[in-house]
Amino acid sequence: MSDAPLKHYDPEHQLTEDEIKVLLESAMQAPTAFNIQHWRFVVVRDPNLRREIRKVAWDQAQVTDASLLVVLCANQNAWDEQPERYWEKAPKAVQEFLVPAIGQYYSGRPQVQRDECMRSCGIAGATLMLAAKALGYDSCPMDGFDFEAVAKLIHLPENHVISFMVAIGKGVQDAWPKPGQLSYDEVVVTDRFIGG
């Protein structure tokens, strides 16, 4: 299979519960700023719900055909919900420094809170996809859907945000080759942008 996102899956293939747990526990090891672990992984198992999500996702087949559909969400208020628990096993001096720093960094900064959710879900999603590949599965990150509609369908709490979805399963055909790739020199900047 190609390294491009795969969109064609065997709809009959099922992941085992152990495989699903390995995938999600791998994603849970992804780093987050201040260790706040604010991602929440909605594993959509209900076939009817998958069909409803597919309707608001441009009728993309992988929503229903992939063995696993995960909606990566994040709790924007996690920084303010018992932050001491994120550092409970750290030395006391570390706790006394970091726990107050969490509030100082996020308090009154809603854009920073949301940005952190997106960064963390991005890292967790990439981890999830790499873990899937390690188990021999293919995956596809998705943002081609109506976010508000999916939020309603999964009963997303008001203080949460959806970052994207990941479909995982047994591929049945190769992904299309990448339609275009920017050059290394355009993408990689050494030290600083020219003219800045």
DSSP 171: B
- Give me the mean pLDDT over the 66-85 stretch: 98
Q: What is the CATH number of the domain that holds 33?
A: 3.40.109.10
Q: For residues 178 and 85, what is the distance between their CA atoms, to the nearest angstrom?
A: 43
**Would residue 89 count as lying in a domain?**
yes
| 3-state SS, residue 137 | coil
**From CA 196, how far away is CA 60, in angstroms rounded?**
42
Range of the domain at 22: 17-187
Q: Is the pTM of this model over 0.85?
A: yes
Pick from 170, 140, 145, 146: nearest CA to 7: 140
Is it the case that residue 111 has pLDDT exceeding 70? yes
Return the pLDDT at 12.
97
Higher pLDDT, 114 or 174: 114
* Domain assignment present for 7: no
Query: Quick check: is 11 in a domain?
Result: no
Contact status, residue 62 vs residue 164, Cβ threshold 8 Å: no
73 in a structural domain: yes
Record the tokens describing residue 64, joined without a space: 């229903």
Lowest mean pLDDT among 57-61, 144-148, 192-196: 192-196
Q: Does the residue 192 lie in any domain? A: no
The yes-or-no verdict on residue 177 having pLDDT over 90 is no
Residue 91: count other Cβ atoms within 10 Å of its Cβ.
9
pLDDT level of residue 6 (50, 70, 90 thresholds): low
> For the chain, how many structural domains are there in total?
1
| pLDDT at res. 42 | 98
Six token digits for residue 19? 């495989």
Which tokens in the block code for residue 183?
């050059």
Is residue 12 included in any domain, yes or no?
A: no
Residue 26 lies in a domain: yes
The confidence score (pLDDT) of residue 196 equals 64
